[in-house]
Structure 1
Amino acid sequence: MYPDRVVSGMRPTGVMHLGHYHGALKNWVRLQSEHQCLFFVADWHALTTHYDDPSIIETSTWDMVIDWLAAGIDPSQATLFIQSKVPEHAELHLLLSMATPLGWLERVPTYKDQQEKLADRDLATYGFLGYPLLQAADVLIYRASMVPVGEDQVPHVEMMRELARRFNHLYGKEKDFEEKAREAVKKLGGKRSRLYNELRTEFQEKGSADALEQARAMLDDAQNLSMSDRERLFGYLEGSRKLILVEPQAMLTEASRLPGLDGQKMSKSYGNAIGLREDRESVTKKIRTMPTDPARVRRTDPGEPERCPVWQLHKVYSDEPTREWVQKGCRSAGIGCLECKQPIVDAVLKEQEPMRERAQQYLDDPSLVRAIIADGCDVARKMAQETMRDVREVMGLSYS
């Protein structure tokens, strides 16, 4: 069994904002201390929608890595790399495409949805259609067990699982597999061999999830097995053949509760975002000029917080006493809108302060960022090459 690994990436298509922080980066910071994590800049993915003007990609790539470091991603805990610097992603994408039914790609919900949203761009390209397949290669190549995603991305992870299953079914046909698996069972020792066979029968005949879990735990603890025998026994247990690619699980992340300055989803394209490292004066001005409850025309008019975009930010940034003060003060016209906004200004600036401090050393010396990425690319590439050796071998492309 392969170690628990988390893989996630982001497209470098512009400045990162606080919505990205609350939606993904805060979660990455937590995950890096709990699992082996690989976080990558998805520069090839950026080309699926920006192929006609790739000029922003390189600058955005380095800015985005600085933003990750500023947000608290620690290169001593997580592996940071750039997708295109690990060409094995493209190789696995190509090889997977040989056996991927076209209908699988066309039925991905985000395919038509994105075409409608980005109607101003010509997205009738293979690159755009094949986006989920490249996304699958990004994850499967590291034999990742978990992918942190929002609910809208769950179909993409389900497709990764189907692709891994199909690949293992087509190519995991090791010669004399069952005979080798039975020999591997014997290496577990008498008592464990009997237990393994009982649990395997329990799972395959009755579908017992407990039996599967127990058998997997036992294999994880078995010290005397080679990696090949361990793989065989995991495959034999589940009724499949040799497992070359691992089926990842979707790790559902809480949707960002941080709206934009106008109450809509925070987005650079909506012009309602606050940059992750935006300067203090600009942040203060943006929040102080936010639209409020339209019913409060004059200072003396009472308002309703639920109708006001500022209240949505209080839900994220303010403590209970402050929220009570806002509710009472707004509805009684006891406080004005600028007074109401000040705690948000203070909270956002406080949140950004350590980010600006962490970023400064990388802005002063960009070679530090280049070194972090170079090291990360080396680590990621070694893992990717291991997977591709196995993939080429089972597909008859090893030519030794």
Structure 2
Amino acid sequence: MHQHSALKTKPDLQQEKILTGDRATGQLHLGHFIGSLQQRVALQHQHRQTILVADLQGLTDNGHQPHKVSSNILNVVADYLAVGIDPSKTTICLQSAIPALAELTMYYANLVSVSRLERNPTVKNEILSKSFGRAIPAGFLTYPISQAADITAFRATLIPVGDDQLPMIEQTNEIVRKVNTIAQDEILLECKPLLSKTPRLPSTDGKGKMSKSMGNCILLSSSEKEISRAVKSMFTDPHHLRVEDPGRVEGNVVFTYLDAFHPDVGHVRELKQQYQEGGLADGTTKKILEECLQEILKPVRERRERFISDKSQLIEILKNGSDKSRQEANQVLDRVKQAFGLDLFQPA
């Protein structure tokens, strides 16, 4: 078997390789901004980072409406640039432009049982939330395998995730160990999670996750009027009927957003105390939140408008990142094919 010592070298802590990504099924919103985008901007100065626009994974539950994915690829790239992700520091690439990812998925799929996929809590929860029943698309059921292909192809060792994604990391490492056992060599690297300290941002109506289709999120591209309308409609304490009534802060979306976005922690603490004691109107807290969000999103929106107006630049950034990533992924694919004994045409 060929030896590629460069592939076996483990990165030192400072040079840990980071992989993150987003399904290209819609524009990015405030939940993405606070949950991952700000972290990625910081990480690009400390680590080697690749961001994958996951269009193939977007198709796993949108195969019947592929336009929803294809029309959002450049939107997502514009969102990245608008928040400060720098393509000279972070490689931005397109999943479908790197055939090795699909090929690795196929090899790994032979090492994972259907029952193991169905036991994955993340997959199980998403199947329930999407009400697939037994009509689950095969691509959706196997997307943990696709994620393992992404992570291993880029030799990523640090994966920023929320708690709900930990089963994905576990499943990736199971696949890594199986492939390494077949190869009798450490050709793939295990990865570890970088847990987000930011709690998941609720939708503006307080009913779970943000969703553009449900109209309960604030997009990075939202106009001043849209931000204002969204804040005014936010869920508060339904029992806080008069200003002088004591109000509940827990489950009150306005205070959750103030905690996440307002720069003055002490001021938010005072507002909470006043609200709980009675004497603070919902309209006042919403006005404070709106001013805060308008200030944060105005420069992001303006930068985004500039980027989205130059689609050729976005395509060039994505193409350059994909070309670089294709070379990386092909090296890993070659080693996996060797492990399976399917390297007949590769030079000795």
TM-score by length of 1: 0.77
> Aligned in 2, Cα 1:169/1:363: closer, same or farther, shift over 3 Å?
same
Deviations 1:27-76 (A, max 9, x none): 11111111111101111111111112112101111111111111211101
For 1:258, give the aligned amino acid: L
Structure 1 residue corresponding to 2:130, chosen from 112, 115, 118: 118
Matched, 1:88 2:84: no
For 1:309, give the aligned amino acid: V
Structure 1 residue corresponding to 2:313, chosen from 368, 372, 375: 368
> Aligned in 2, Cα 1:302/1:373: closer, same or farther, shift over 3 Å?
same
Structure 2 residue corresponding to 1:280, chosen from 198, 216, 224: 224
CA contact (8 A) 2:82 2:307 kept: no
Larger Rg: 1
The structural deviation recorded for 1:289 is 3.1
Structure 2 counterpart SS, 1:353: helix
- 1:76 corresponds to which residue? 88
Distance in 1 (CA, whole Å) between partners of 2:237 and 2:120 is: 39
For 1:358, give the aligned amino acid: R
- 1:50 corresponds to which residue? 62
CA contact (8 A) 2:274 2:280 kept: yes
1:14-25 superposed matches below 5 A = 14-25=26-37
Distance in 1 (CA, whole Å) between partners of 2:186 and 2:106 is: 20
Deviations 1:283-311 (A, max 9, x none): 01221232332233344544343463222
For 1:76, give the aligned amino acid: S
For 1:11, give the aligned amino acid: R
Deviates more, 1:269-278 or 1:6-15: 269-278
- 1:343 corresponds to which residue? 288
Distance in 1 (CA, whole Å) between partners of 2:128 and 2:229 is: 34
Distance in 2 (CA, whole Å) between partners of 1:274 and 1:378 is: 33
For 2:195, give the aligned amino acid: L
CA contact (8 A) 1:19 1:256 kept: no
- 2:6 corresponds to which residue? none
Deviates more, 1:313-322 or 1:159-168: 313-322
Distance in 2 (CA, whole Å) between partners of 1:9 and 1:71 is: 15
Distance in 1 (CA, whole Å) between partners of 2:317 and 2:331 is: 22
The structural deviation recorded for 1:335 is 3.7
- 1:383 corresponds to which residue? 328
Q: Which runs of 5+ in 2 are unaligned?
A: 1-8
Distance in 2 (CA, whole Å) between partners of 1:306 and 1:98 is: 47
Distance in 2 (CA, whole Å) between partners of 1:332 and 1:156 is: 44
For 1:86, give the aligned amino acid: I
1:325-336 superposed matches below 5 A = 325-331=270-276, 333-336=278-281
Name the structure where helix makes up a greater proportion of residues. Answer: 1
Q: Which runs of 5+ in 1 are unaligned?
A: 173-241
- 1:41 corresponds to which residue? 53
Structure 1 counterpart SS, 2:172: helix
Distance in 2 (CA, whole Å) between partners of 1:111 and 1:258 is: 21
- Alignment: residue pair count: 331
- 1:216 corresponds to which residue? none
- 2:4 corresponds to which residue? none
1:1-400 superposed matches below 5 A = 1-3=9-11, 4-119=16-131, 123-172=135-184, 242-268=185-211, 269-306=213-250, 308-318=252-262, 319-331=264-276, 333-398=278-343, 399=345, 400=347
> Aligned in 2, Cα 1:307/1:250: closer, same or farther, shift over 3 Å?
closer
Root-mean-square deviation (CA, aligned residues, Å) is: 2.1
Structure 2 counterpart SS, 1:135: helix
For 1:35, give the aligned amino acid: H
For 2:190, give the aligned amino acid: E
For 1:384, give the aligned amino acid: A
The structural deviation recorded for 1:375 is 0.5
Distance in 2 (CA, whole Å) between partners of 1:327 and 1:99 is: 52
> Aligned in 2, Cα 1:294/1:88: closer, same or farther, shift over 3 Å?
same
Deviations 1:314-353 (A, max 9, x none): 2223323422442354345544322221111111111112
> Aligned in 2, Cα 1:264/1:27: closer, same or farther, shift over 3 Å?
farther
For 2:96, give the aligned amino acid: S
Distance in 2 (CA, whole Å) between partners of 1:270 and 1:244 is: 44
Percent of pairs with identical residues: 32
For 2:317, give the aligned amino acid: I
Structure 1 counterpart SS, 2:71: helix
Deviations 1:165-204 (A, max 9, x none): 11111123xxxxxxxxxxxxxxxxxxxxxxxxxxxxxxxx
Deviates more, 1:132-141 or 1:3-12: 3-12
Distance in 2 (CA, whole Å) between partners of 1:137 and 1:329 is: 51
For 2:179, give the aligned amino acid: F
Distance in 1 (CA, whole Å) between partners of 2:297 and 2:136 is: 40
Distance in 2 (CA, whole Å) between partners of 1:145 and 1:67 is: 25
Distance in 2 (CA, whole Å) between partners of 1:266 and 1:98 is: 33
